[in-house]
Amino acid sequence: MTGFLLVDKPSGWTSHDVVAKIRRLSGVKKVGHAGTLDPMATGLLVVAVGPVTRLLRFLQDLTKTYIAEATFGIATDSLDADGEITEKAPMAFDRRQLEEAVSTFVGDIEQIPPMVSAVKVGGKKLYELAREGKEIERDARPVTIHQFEVLGFEPGEYPTASFRIQSSKGTYVRTLVDDVARRLGGRAHLTALRRTTNGSLSVADAATIERLEADGVDAHLVDPARALADLPSFTIGAEDAAALRHGRQVRIPDTFDGSVAAIGLDGDLIAVGEPERGWFKSRVVLR
């Protein structure tokens, strides 16, 4: 058994919990996912089952979209509703001021990852240090915010708002929302987060854990060509497909740059690689 699953992760589950569940349901040990969702968060988790786990790195780099809800004026140690309150002070601003603050974060920005995160510093995950009561200096990391839109706003002593965010790999929406609050003179924390897309893959096509239990994993497997449809691709014949599977190189059009998918005449994904002086250099070949 091999292929991808689009899973609608429930709140309260870690991404690892989902992977462990798929291992049990499928009987396959080699299972991985294309990007962590915090326990509180829900939505699209792309899971690979079997040999296609080697392709996960190409999905991890794709743009992701989120719907987020936040409360302003209240900060927590984790920057979300799962954490302990660390600051509480009423804030006063209107929707126009919020939208102006949000607009300053669109584009290439730098983010300092939160202490409650899986980022490793000195071989140890930040959340492990946070559990020990430690807070260390973290380096800012570059991320890109492609879209940051205010969907709803409720004024009050502790205003609430909802957002649509489209961002690059490695973006912490918790940090992004708190940074907006700091721009407005206060703090904030996430009260809900839902990932709706990973590249062109959508949570609308995802299965719940209950559905996977009822139908079986096989019924919801997505073939690799569909899962990696965001990659540029070129079509190869049977002879070139056989050559790639035997470790030989094939010619590639000179119009490509970066990762490219080689697709067989039947629509199956044969390999993913990169162009090199007119040749296709395979990174992953599916046998």
Domains of the chain: 3-61+200-223 (3.30.2350.10), 64-198 (3.30.2350.10), 233-285 (2.30.130.10)
Identify the band that residue 174 occupies on the pLDDT scale cut at 50, 70 and 90. Answer: very high
Backbone angles phi, psi at 31, to 5 degrees: -135, 140
Average pLDDT over residues 192-218: 97
- Sequence-distant (≥ 6) Cβ neighbours of residue 1 within 8 angstroms: 26, 27, 28, 49, 50, 217, 218, 221
Residues assigned a catalytic role: 38
Query: pLDDT at position 238, please?
Result: 95
Residue 120: HSE in the Cβ half-sphere, 13 Å Cα cutoff? 3
pLDDT at 284 over 80: yes
Position 139 scores a pLDDT of: 78
Residue 256: both structure tokens together: 């490509």
Distance CA 287, CA 279 (A): 20
Contact 264, 270 (CB under 8 A): yes
- Among residues 4, 59, 15, which one has the least CA distance to residue 40? 15
pLDDT tens-digit profile of 46-105? Answer: 999 999 999 999 999 899 999 999 999 999 999 999 999 999 999 999 999 999 999 999
Q: What is the pLDDT of residue 287?
A: 81
